[in-house]
Amino acid sequence: MFSRRHPYLFFFLSFSAIMMGGITIISLLVTLGSTGSNIVFNKKVGIIEISGVITDAKNVIYSLKQFREDDSIKAIVLRIDSPGGGVGPSQEIFREIRKTIKSKKVVASLGSIAASGGYYAAAGSNGIVANPGTITGSIGVIMSYTNFREVLNKIGLVPVVVKSGEFKDIGSPVREMTNRERNLLKGFVDTVHQQFVSAIVEGRKMDRSKVEAIADGRILSGESAKALGLVDRLGNLEDAVEWAGRLGGIKGKIFTVYSREEKVPFIKYLIDSYAGEFISNTINPGLHGGYLYSPN
């Protein structure tokens, strides 16, 4: 009788009761999750993806920090599909991983390719899982550029350079490189290469002589890398998640959550993108892409 006489009031009361019930259930779940109970919502493995050429470490560092400070994340998996990239960003990721393993286990899962800078990042973790056919290794540093001197001569263009020092235009694409310049760059590349070797020695706890013996830029399959001590286990992403979860103390079924990239205003993204492109192609075209950890 009440619903017939006051249908709108009946609907409002029913809707309010449903809403209050939903809020109560959600509050209960949040409370259980924050009290350290054994409910599954409180024990997850966080997954961070590193895809493509490594040019910027900001999002990976942000995700590592977020997962490191989240009590519900018990372990972290780095899913790497990268041929390598810039030296600086690869080193930044490695350093952040080394900071993270002090409080949480980190396992690297190598996808189709995790070479050079991609492997550099993986080497900082507690363990590495790769597929038998994963392309990895390529432990080395490369610096290259294209010389256009002959082309400019043919079309009659004469470059004019004013510089403050002998090496200020080193790597110029409009003239031959001198022996002094070549020796300087070779020394620089060798120094950075030794930094790469040292990172693997630290992260993998390997003898330096063994690392140096294979740090000649060669690519390896996941199976070969395991035989050489660069990889711990053969398996896929699910195997890496399982291993990380057990290392993190999770019992039973393991739940996962993917990281969210740090939000950047669209205008700032456009400005940064165009500015980076301008600097790379205009100010220093002789070192296009910089010096890289990348496959041969």
Residue 103, judged by CB atoms within 10 A of its CB (0-12, 13-18, 19+), counts as: exposed
Look up 116 and say whether it is catalytic. yes
Residue 71: Cβ within 10 Å count: 10
> How would DSSP label each residue in 259-285?
--PPP--HHHHHHHHHHHHHIIIII-G
Q: Can you tell me the distance from the alpha carbon of 73 to that of 64, in angstroms, rounded to the nearest whole number? A: 11
Report the alpha-carbon distance of residue 196 to residue 205 in Å, rounded.
Answer: 14
What phi and psi, each to the nearest 5 degrees, are found at residue 128? -125, 130
* Residue of 58, 163, 168, 251 with catalytic role: 168
Read off the DSSP letter of residue 54: B
Bridge partners, 110 (sequence order): 80, 130
| Active-site hit among 82, 116, 172, 259 | 116
Q: From start to end of the chain, where are the E strands?
A: 44-51, 73-82, 85-86, 105-115, 127-130, 135-137, 219-221, 233-234, 255-258, 292-293
Q: Is 154 a catalytic residue?
A: no
Just list the catalytic residues.
Answer: 116, 168
